[in-house]
Amino acid sequence: MTRRKIQIKKIESTTARQVTFSKRRRGLFKKALELSTLCDSELALIVFSSTGKLFDYASSSVLQVIERQNLQSNTLDKMDQPSLELQLENSTYTLLSNDIMEKTRELRQMKGEELQGLNIEELQKLEQLLQDGLRCVVNAKDKRFVEDISSLERKGAELMEDNQILKRQVENQSNNITHVIEQGQSSESLTNICSSADPPQGQDSDTSLKLGLPFPNWL
């Protein structure tokens, strides 16, 4: 748009992002107002800043009232029945907004941003909170590692066991077949039957490969 063209992706610098947010937000709201005016269309726009602050605009009259009520707290006692309802809703709305702002600030501070307003005591408290959280997360992670590993080992053991059983079944079958063949079949038929039902031991078949692995190969 101006001195230089910029890429449309998240602006990394916090200050630059805030400046841009402020400018573009105003631009966007102006455009929204123009569209609703020029084309007589109803329109609502709700924007949260990265700090959790809420901005909104709505062309419809009732929402404008609500919006105004939010900006400058009360002076609407003079209105009749609907105003009471609006006030109730509005207070909930304001409470929610405040809660969001508070939680957003707390989250940002836990991520190490927006720390300039804190004194040493508050910073130490935050550090302690982070260390406690980190300890819990690392514990949970390690526990999960152990669980996943033992679960995989169990599965591996089961597979190996199955493998053994299958191997024995295959050996039994091939013995039976060999026995049957030895009792009366021709040598040409022997070759055919053996290659399809009992491949040579030195060469891994697809089946024995899958069953023989201690861990599944999709890990």
Q: Is 80 in the site for a copy of itself (CB under 8 A)?
A: no
Query: Which parts of 104-123 interact with a copy of itself (CB under 8 A)?
Result: 104, 106-107, 109-113, 115-116, 118-120, 123
Q: Say which entry of DNA, a copy of itself, none residue 105 contacts (CB below 5 to 8 A, set by partner kind).
A: none
Q: How far apart are CB 195 and a copy of itself at their closest, in Å?
A: 45
Q: Say which entry of DNA, a copy of itself, none residue 149 contacts (CB below 5 to 8 A, set by partner kind).
A: none
Which is nearer to a copy of itself, 68 or 210 (by Cβ)? Answer: 68
> DSSP character for 114?
S
* Contact by Cβ (8 Å): 144, 205: no
Q: Say which entry of a copy of itself, DNA, none residue 98 contacts (CB below 5 to 8 A, set by partner kind).
A: none
The token pair at 156 is: 């591996």
Q: How many CB atoms lie within 10 A of CB 69?
A: 20
Q: Is 191 in the site for DNA (CB under 7 A)?
A: no
* Contact by Cβ (8 Å): 70, 57: no
Q: How many CB atoms lie within 10 A of CB 151?
A: 10
For residue 54, the Cα-to-chain-centroid distance in whole angstroms is: 24
Q: How far apart are CB 64 and a copy of itself at their closest, in Å?
A: 10
Residue 130: which of 112, 103, 115 has the closest Cα? 112
Binding site for DNA (CB under 7 A): 1-6, 15-16, 18-20, 22-24, 26-28, 30-31, 34, 38, 51
